[in-house]
Amino acid sequence: MRLALYPLQNHGRLSQFMLPDDVKNTIQSAYRQILENKSLTPRYGQRLMIAEIARSLGGIADAERAALQAPVPMEGEPDPELPPGPICVVEAGTGTGKTLAYVLGTLPVAKALKKKVVLATATVALQEQVTLKDLPDIKRYSDLEFSFTLAKGRGRYLCLSRLDMLLQGNASLNAMADLYGELINQPNDYALALYERMLRKINAGEWQGDRDDWEDLLSDKDWIPVTVDNGQCIGQKCSNFSNCCFYKAREEVQKADCVVANHDLVLADLALGGGVILPAPQDTIYIFDEAHHLPLKSNNHFACFTRLKGSLAALDQWRKTLGKLGADSVVEEKRTLQRELPGIDDSMALAEIRLNEIWPLCEQILQSAAPDRQADNQRDQGLQHAFALGQVPEPLRELAAELETQFTRLATVFQDIGNDLKRGMEEGDNVDARQRAEYWFPLIGSMTARAAAAQKLWHHFGMRDVAGEAPWARWLGLSDKGSSDHQGSPDITLSCSPVLAARTLQEKLWSTCAGAVLTSATLSALGQFDVLRMRAGLPPHATYHRIASPFDYANAARFIVPKLNCDPANSAQHTEAIIRLLPKVLDRNEGALMLFSSRRQMQDVLEGLDKEWREIILCQDDYQKAQLLKFHRQRIDKGEPSIIFGLASFAEGVDLPGKYCEHVLIAKIPFAVPNDPIEATLSQWIEKQGGNPFMTLAVPEAAFKLVQAAGRLLRNEKDTGRITLFDERIVSKFYGAAIFNSLPPYRREIFPPLP
């Protein structure tokens, strides 16, 4: 059996690239061996996906060859730019076998081009599946030769210096404990025994300091004291650098052919300039599985926030900490602190004044927003106000600009103090002085990171958005619970975020990487990739492919829309209708999953059902997700009835095949929450540009989410069942037909008679 390279459609100039014969032969041979050794049947969609990815990535070689053949520039002329790497987008329906497809379509090409592969997933579960099962299987059952490793952030690894300090239990630790609070506290007997066992296992080579590989589950309380973040790590100047768990793992990352990471780690590396944690982008082909998460992950990564009372508490703590550092006679290198202390005091005093001036402004804005909090989805949240088009009132913007100046100065000076401490570690006259500097550095590093985060927030709150570009969303929130810095007292939070990841991803990823593959079971909306293209800023040369699922939807599943005689916009009537109809449509002999868009409605429906139904329902609010799914499977295995009530997180990534889920119920078409500041700002901007945000964003996004939710039913080719949607708008509203037609071809039953 040969792997056909299927003809491409609508693929632009990249369709002209051809793969070398040796690469095609490698892919075909590996695929044939895996099918034979695992007794698998070739799948048309899987073969098509392999071919599309491989041929698209073949464009890398052509681009590099063209660059090498370009005339040498004359003196003073810029070097010719390498064309941007190919971007291949593949929506592969459930059952395609996309993991095998994107690995076989990418790895042989990458090896031939001497490129690295970074395979990024959105969830830990898929990351572990790829590392522990999929990649080992591909190596075992084919003649492909490649190395792979799992990449994690610094916070997943133990810090040997922290461990040493905690186990020493000397006067230095006791003197420092009150400064670090929860981060470094005197460990109790249980913790000491745990940390001693960790050290023994590391020394014996039985553990490499990875939290996820520890023999037992580690709580945050036990783990946080023995790890550090980027700002607290002193790198090569650390006395334990040669044995550092994180840097040893990083060496493996740089050597491996394929690095399995997650979206957040890729974004963190790109934010640092690329090539700091993971291989350099220009030498890397990225595979983004569950790629529909990438724009949101990017927005979250570059978003920022601060709390007003929390900031005031931090300034007070910084003042005390710097005073103690200045009084520590053992620390020799304190030139910056001694020189800059008067200026630091002035900056902190000015920051406190401005923070106290901002409080009443924000409080007034929030109080004026209070009458608008009538929406069902807002009742469970603190008071919130998003600024229209992200435009902050001038008085608040001016104060934000002043605070940016002060926090910029503080972050810069704290960084310089940290550099002094680094020099003290290298050049201190005695061991005690070097060790003391090493103790102080992480604390100053934390102060630097927090000051820089505050500076980032105030910068974006004080800046004016570029005309013609999508604005930043900016909003205020009042939390009744307060913050960890100021417990028990309400605090005001200021937040901002890009509304589109487009510019960030264009600058840091699409224009720099050697190539990229984006894939998921659902990437398009209403049959188009327009929303993904807009949100992710995909370049014009990106290619798009839709590969249908092999499932026989028409015979495997029914899509039912019962008659409710109410509009879901009327929450009370809609909830009553669901409570009335659920006992009629549910079968106690079937495993079922019911999905809600609103926590309040989920709770109200649960409370409104008779006791006999409530007893068999597992509600998301009552259990952790993994625990709830485990209880559900146990009930079904025992032949007991079981129904899951869940929110959006259960509408994707939940795999309940066969008898575990024979009925998916959906409360309403999953339109976005109307009070989300980011979506609201984006909608306002689209409208200002003359667009229709409802048809441009709301309807395609709702269709996308409905496809995902309905997709919980059929997880393999043998599954059967039904989907019930309690929302007549899919057949009564003008946009309903477009949403309905975007679903797989389930057998439809509209307003069927009910018992």
Q: Which residues contact 65 (CB under 8 A, 6 or more apart)?
A: none
Whether the CA torsion 140, 143, 145, 151 is positive or negative: it is negative
- In eight-state DSSP terms, residue 542 is -
- The helix (H) or strand (E) run that includes residue 732 is helix 729-732
Angle, helices 160-168 vs 431-462, to 10°: value is: 130
DSSP assignment string, 594-656: EE-S-HHHHHHHHHHS-HHHHTTEEEGGGS-HHHHHHHHHHHHHTT---EEEE-GGGSSS---
123-128 average pLDDT score: 79
What does the alpha-carbon distance between residue 171 and residue 177 come to, in Å, rounded to a whole number? 10
Pairing of strands 592-595, 617-619: unpaired
Interacting residues of 595 by C-beta distance below 8 A, sequence separation 6+: 646, 647, 648, 650, 651, 664, 665, 666, 667, 670, 709, 712
CATH fold for domain 1-72+81-147+256-302+514-550: Rossmann fold (3.40.50)
For the stretch 370-380, pLDDT in tens is: 655 444 444 44
pLDDT tens figures, 63-88: 666 655 556 566 665 555 667 899 99
Query: Burial of 488 by CB count in 10 Å (0-12 exposed, 13-18 middle, 19+ buried)?
Result: exposed
426, pLDDT greater than 80: no
pLDDT digits (tens, 9 = 90+) for 274-327: 998 899 999 999 999 999 999 999 999 999 999 999 999 999 999 999 998 888
DSSP calls for 75-130: TTSPPPPPPPPPEEEEEE-TTS-HHHHHHHHHHHHHHHTT-EEEEEESSHHHHHHI
The answer, yes or no, to whether residue 5 has pLDDT greater than 90, is: no
pLDDT for 428: 64
pLDDT at 182 over 80: no
Residue-level pLDDT at 125:
73
**pLDDT tens column, 35-55:** 999 999 999 999 999 999 999
CA angle 254, 136, 659 (to 5 degrees): 130
Nearest-angstrom CA–CA distance, 219 and 228? 16
* pLDDT reported for residue 376: 45
Give bridge partners of residue 411 from the DSSP assignment: none
pLDDT tens for 640-675 read 999 999 999 999 989 999 999 999 999 999 998 878
Angle between helix 59-69 and helix 44-57 axes, rounded to 10 deg: 10
Confidence of residue 703 (pLDDT cuts 50, 70, 90): very high
pLDDT number for residue 12: 35
Q: Tell whether the model's pLDDT for residue 482 goes beyond 60.
A: no
Question: Radius of gyration over alpha carbons of the chain, in Å?
Answer: 28
The region of weakest confidence among 234-243, 255-264, 559-568, 610-619 is 234-243
Report pTM: 0.87
Residue 131's pLDDT band, with cuts at 50, 70 and 90, is very high
Q: What is the pLDDT of residue 593?
A: 98
The percent of residues in the chain predicted with pLDDT above 70, rounded, is 89
- On average, the pLDDT of the chain sits at 88
Each residue's pLDDT tens digit, 683-696: 999 999 999 999 99
Where does the pLDDT of residue 190 fall: very low under 50, low under 70, confident under 90, or very high at 90 and above? confident
As a whole number, mean pLDDT of residues 195-211 equals: 91
What is the pLDDT, as a whole number, of residue 183?
44
Q: Kindly report the CA angle at 449 between 447 and 454, in degrees rounded to 5? A: 95
Provide, rounded to the nearest whole percent, the portion of the chain with pLDDT above 90: 66
Q: How confident is the model at residue 735 (pLDDT cuts 50, 70, 90)?
A: very high
Portions of the chain given CATH number 3.40.50.300: 1-72+81-147+256-302+514-550, 553-750
Contacts of 556 (CB under 8 A, 6+ apart): 714, 719, 720, 721
Which pLDDT value is given to residue 187?
A: 76
CB 211 within 8 A of CB 223: yes
**Overall average pLDDT of the 588-605 stretch:** 96
Q: Where are the alpha helices (DSSP H) in 370-499?
A: 394-427, 431-462
Q: What is the CATH number of domain 553-750?
A: 3.40.50.300
Q: Name the H helices within 463-511.
A: 502-505
Tens digit of each residue's pLDDT (9 = 90 or more) over 309-323? 999 999 999 999 999
394-427 and 431-462 helices, crossing angle to 10°: 160
- Which pLDDT band holds residue 592 (cuts at 50, 70, 90)? very high
